[in-house]
Amino acid sequence: MENIALIESFSEFKDDKLIDRVMLMAILEEVFRSTLKKRFGSDDNFDIIINPDKGDLEIWRNRVVVADGEVEDENSEISLTEARRIEPDFEVGEDVSEEVKLIDLGRRSILALRQNLISKIHEHDNTNIYKQFKELEGELYNAEVHHIRHRAIILLDDEGNEIIMPKDKQIPSDFFRKGENVRGIIESVELKGNKPAIIMSRTSPLFLEKLFESEIPEVFDGLITVKKVVRIPGEKAKVAVDSYDDRIDPVGACVGMKGSRIHGIVRELGNENIDVINYTNNLQLYITRALSPAKITSIKIDDENKTAEVMLKPEEVSKAIGRGGHNIRLAGQLTGYEIDVFREGVEEDVELTEFSDEIEDWVIAEFSKIGLDTAKSILEQDVEDLVRRTDLEEETIQDVMRILREEFE
């Protein structure tokens, strides 16, 4: 293999990987010196001249002429007789520069050299990709579905970079097809070995925050600030927003006329229910707003233990707790306070757990999920409505109501 032919094959890497000329020369020299060191024991006495643009390469070996029979290091010394085969007028003590052809290194060395070069260029490429995506952490990103696996989907961006979205980073209602464009945030970038692992997420609260920035001009321009986002992906989210300009209604601007602005975000999140509330430093008012759509009668706050006791009318309790307890859980996360709900005028009521000897624990738990944890709160409900809101059979609900009625009778 001639030097020129090998360099021509190296130019493929420059075109494919878009490595600049200086970097390619540095990588080529590093690889060649490594090969020379293995072949001759040292590369100190070699000059390497590379011109990737023209596609040429020269390797020159520098040795000192010594008298015949006095060569101690064949790599740095050359006998007088051998030197005069190169130039007949060489004398002892003079320096000899001799060009080394790659073919003289042997086929195995050339193959190893090429493999080493591929590895170095990939390493350089991966380092650049890592740096590029590290700067994109927390930002919105689009990529195309390339492969669908059981535990993750593999995406490719326009430059062919591989991005992974694990199952737990997907919204439960997400359904992807090959070739479909997917939007998420770059959640993390790590180097595993020499290869960057780029993780995309659609479940992160930051994804929702970035969607607000993307879809709502006032948020993008900084006129409205997203103070905090909490969410149960695919189910419900609460977003606290604020504006330093009293002329701007932050909630109205985010929701839009008849929900026009937020509809696109809701669709992107698989019809996730999004509550947008006005942020305030008034903790009592903030907790009241966080429990929307429930209307609170009174509230008692314990700052030391970060708890809040909220009093509501019986018909407002299920609204405060929400389906599956989502509303009260998110309100607690948004405000940073553990919220306990109490009903007005139920002094004579009985906790459902008091009936654990007659009602199975899992049945009690089903009622608790929808905010019904006392006898009267269940007796006030319609049986058909309870069948719809819980995973209980009508017969089971009828039995529970019979047990509870007997208590009061």
29-48 tens-digit pLDDT: 777 787 778 777 888 888 87
Is the C-alpha dihedral spanning 223, 134, 235, 291 positive or negative?
Answer: negative
CATH of 136-201, one of 3.30.2310.20, 3.30.70.600, 2.40.50.140, 2.60.120.1310: 2.40.50.140
Write down the pLDDT at residue 219: 94
The β-bridge relationship of strands 181-192 and 195-201 is antiparallel
What span, in angstroms and rounded, lies between the C-alpha atoms of 133 and 114? Answer: 29
Domains 3-130 and 280-345 share a fold: no
Q: Is the pLDDT of residue 167 over 70?
A: yes
* Cα 166 → chain centroid: 9
Q: Are 137 and 188 in contact (CB under 8 A)?
A: yes
Q: What is the band of 329 on the pLDDT scale with cuts at 50, 70, 90?
A: very high
User: Cα separation of 56 and 157, whole Å?
Assistant: 35
The total of other beta-carbon atoms located within 10 Å of residue 305's CB is 9
**Assigned fold of 3-130:** N Utilization Substance Protein A; Chain:P; domain 4 (3.30.1480)
Above 70 in pLDDT, residue 303? Answer: yes
Q: Give the pLDDT score at 346.
A: 52
pLDDT digits (tens, 9 = 90+) for 2-12: 444 555 555 55
Give the Cα separation of 292 and 331 in Å (integer). Answer: 9
Q: Give the architecture (CATH level 2) of 212-271.
A: 2-Layer Sandwich (3.30)
Tell me the three state secondary structure of residue 283.
helix
Lowest model confidence (mean pLDDT) among 85-94, 150-159, 278-287, 319-328? 85-94
Give the three-state DSSP class for 406.
helix
- Residue 259 is classified by DSSP as G
Q: Give the range among 6-15, 107-116, 228-237, 303-312 with minimum mean pLDDT.
A: 6-15
Q: Predicted confidence band at 196 (pLDDT cuts at 50, 70, 90)? A: confident
- CATH tag, 280-345: 3.30.300.20
Per the DSSP assignment, residues forming a β-bridge with 46 are 61
Each domain of the chain, given as residue ranges in start order, spans 3-130, 136-201, 212-271, 280-345, 352-408
Alpha helices by DSSP H, listed for 326-382, are 326-335, 361-369, 375-379
pLDDT for the residue 375:
85
